[in-house]
Amino acid sequence: MIKVLIVEDDARVAHNHRCLVEETPGFTVTGVAHTAGAAMGSIARERPHLILLDLFLPDRSGMELLRTLRGPGRSKGGGGPEDGRSVDDRSRDGRSGDGRSVDGRSKDGGGAHEDGLVDALVITALRDVGHVREALHNGAVHYLIKPFSLASLRDQLERYAAARSRLEQSGEATQNDVDRVVGLLRPASNRSHSKALTSPTGRMVAEALRQAGTDLSATEAAEVTGVARVTARRYLEQLCTDGRAVLTMRHGSTGRPEHRYRWVA
Query: Tens of pLDDT along 81-134?
Result: 343 333 333 333 443 334 333 333 333 334 455 556 899 999 988 888 888 999
Identify residue 50 by its one-letter amino acid code.
L
Class of domain 193-263: mainly alpha
What are the residues whose beta carbons fall under 8 Å from the beta carbon of 207, sequence distance 6 or more? none
Identify the three-state secondary structure at position 135.
Answer: helix
183: buried, middle or exposed (CB in 10 Å: 19+, 13-18, 0-12)? middle
Rg (CA), the chain: 21
- Pinpoint the residues of the chain covered by CATH 3.40.50.2300: 2-181
Distance set, CA 231 to CA 207, 219, 235 (Å): 15, 10, 6
The domain defined by 2-181 folds into Rossmann fold (3.40.50)
Contact status, residue 239 vs residue 261, Cβ threshold 8 Å: yes
pLDDT at 205: 92
Q: At 152, is the pLDDT very low, low, confident or very high (cuts 50, 70, 90)?
A: confident
Which of residues 240 and 14 earns the better pLDDT score? Answer: 14
pTM: 0.60
186: buried, middle or exposed (CB in 10 Å: 19+, 13-18, 0-12)? middle
pLDDT at 172: 78
48: region left, alpha or beta (phi > 0 left; psi from -120 to 50 alpha): beta
Contact status, residue 78 vs residue 119, Cβ threshold 8 Å: no
pLDDT at 139: 86
The stretch 165-170 carries a mean pLDDT of: 74
pLDDT at 70: 80
pLDDT at 47: 94
191: buried, middle or exposed (CB in 10 Å: 19+, 13-18, 0-12)? middle
For 40-86, the pLDDT digits (tens) are: 999 999 999 999 999 999 999 999 999 998 865 554 444 443 433 33
- Pinpoint the residues of the chain covered by CATH 1.10.10.10: 193-263
pLDDT at 241 over 80: no
Distance between CA 3 and CA 16 in Å, rounded? 17
Distance between CA 116 and CA 135 in Å, rounded? 19
Q: At 255, is the pLDDT very low, low, confident or very high (cuts 50, 70, 90)?
A: low
Angle of helix 175-185 versus helix 150-167 axis, rounded to 10: 160
